Structure 1
Amino acid sequence: MNAYVDITLLMTTFLTLFVIMDPPGLVPVYLALTSTQTSKQRKKAAFQATITSLGVMATFTVFGQYILNFLQISLPALQVSGGLLLLIVAMELLAGKDGSGDAEGATKQNVALVPLATPLMAGPGSIVAIMVAWQRAPDGISSWTAIGIALIAIHLVLWLSMRFADIIHRVLGTDGTLLVTRLAGMLLAAIAVEILASGIFSYIAAHQ
């Protein structure tokens, strides 16, 4: 098994992504963003968000540095932009907008893609982490396989956390979900500020 999969790299990559992507912490935000949707719509949103995030992360794993170099974008700039986007979403949640709206609004804005898939799941932190893991990993099939398995495994955990959040939604009811929405907005705002601050300080340090 070790000849085909670097177990140590697999575990360290998975645990790093787990801490950054925070599947348990995603649940209240997911409930808030999909609070007005039906159970079927929430399940579809969870699947779409997971597949989209996996695609984005896989792309940046292999081609991320080339993409950033081609567009002349630094990693700190990516962090700041992701933090700003999350902050806007947090303000909408605190203001009572869940991001899904009515049927017409849902058509115009698919919350499964933005902000669930990116930047909540495939955000600046997770993208940077997987890019660094790929660049630092020794060349060879065992390293590439380990990172690939870790990437798929963390997205399976993310999907499961959203899939069973539907049960939590039924238990909470309308009032409980409204409370979760406000709390999620505050938590998301705090996460956004952390990402913004980290990106700004990194940008300043890189240009000194």
Structure 2
Amino acid sequence: MSSSLFVQAFVTLLVIFDPLAAIPVFLTLTRHQSPSAQRRTARVSVLVAAGIVGVFAVAGNHLLDALGISLQALQVAGGVLLALIALDLLKTDCARKRADAESGAVAFVPLGTPMLAGPGAIAATMLYVEQAGSAPAVAAVVLALAAALLLTWLTLRFSPFIGRLLKDNGLNLVTRIMGLLAAAIAVQLIAGALQFWMRWGVS
């Protein structure tokens, strides 16, 4: 099993899921729920995200073949999406997100998608599965996805405690750090595809 692939996929997916940035929205959307209902909401939202990303991870390669899309094209698309996510994270204000949620604008968007299982997470998972050239490598990607989803669920599960502990300033700081990591990963993805095209040409 490729430990480096596991770490890279885990960090990428965790940055995209960004459960800390979802805490204010989650708490607002579930503010009228009992603690047990909040825990159930956290569990279901992560299961929905897992199902959506899992489907694309399994069927994504066949979809790429059917559409005639190369791995490098997916790599650039994933990098661009990740760069957009990074910009959003770097500009995120948790207090503003809470205000938006209270206005009802976020209530129409389920937590499972696109907040967790958005285009960035789908593209990144498809990319890593496509890059994996062996069964151990695929297993590393699957375990990375499972670990990222597990940590996301734990974050949402204990979001009332984490929110009280970090407060808005702490959440904003961690979110911006995640945004910086996302930007670096996006640059690496795009640079890798461009390097391949420069050496072998666009196919």
TM-score range, shorter chain: 0.5 to 0.7
* Mapped partners of 1:34, 1:92: distance in 2: 14
Q: Which residue is 1:45 aligned to? A: 41
Runs of at least 5 residues in structure 2 that lack an aligned partner in the other structure: 86-96, 180-203
CA RMSD of aligned residues (A): 3.7
| Aligned partner of residue 35 in structure 1, secondary structure | coil
* Mapped partners of 1:126, 1:141: distance in 2: 21
Percent identical among aligned pairs is: 32
* Mapped partners of 1:115, 1:28: distance in 2: 14
Aligned AA (1:127): I
| Aligned partner of residue 48 in structure 1, secondary structure | helix
Aligned length in residues: 152
Which of 60, 66, 72 is equivalent to 1:64?
A: 60
Which of 116, 124, 130 is equivalent to 1:129?
A: 124
| Offset at residue 97 of structure 1 (A) | 2.0
| Offset at residue 23 of structure 1 (A) | 2.0
* Mapped partners of 1:168, 1:13: distance in 2: 25
Q: Structure 2 length normalisation: TM-score?
A: 0.60
| Offset at residue 94 of structure 1 (A) | 5.3
Where in structure 2 are the equivalents of 1:99-178 lying within 5 Å? 114-138=109-133, 140-168=134-162, 171=164
- Whether 1:96 aligns to 2:103 is yes
Query: Does structure 2 conserve the Cα–Cα contact (< 8 Å) formed by 1:34 and 1:42?
Result: yes
* Mapped partners of 1:136, 1:98: distance in 2: 37
Aligned AA (2:140): A
- Whether 1:12 aligns to 2:8 is yes
* Mapped partners of 1:36, 1:8: distance in 2: 43
Query: Does structure 1 conserve the Cα–Cα contact (< 8 Å) formed by 2:42 and 2:156?
Result: yes
| Offset at residue 129 of structure 1 (A) | 0.6
Runs of at least 5 residues in structure 1 that lack an aligned partner in the other structure: 84-89, 101-108, 192-208
Aligned AA (2:150): L
Q: 1:9 to 1:45 in 2, by over 3 A?
A: same
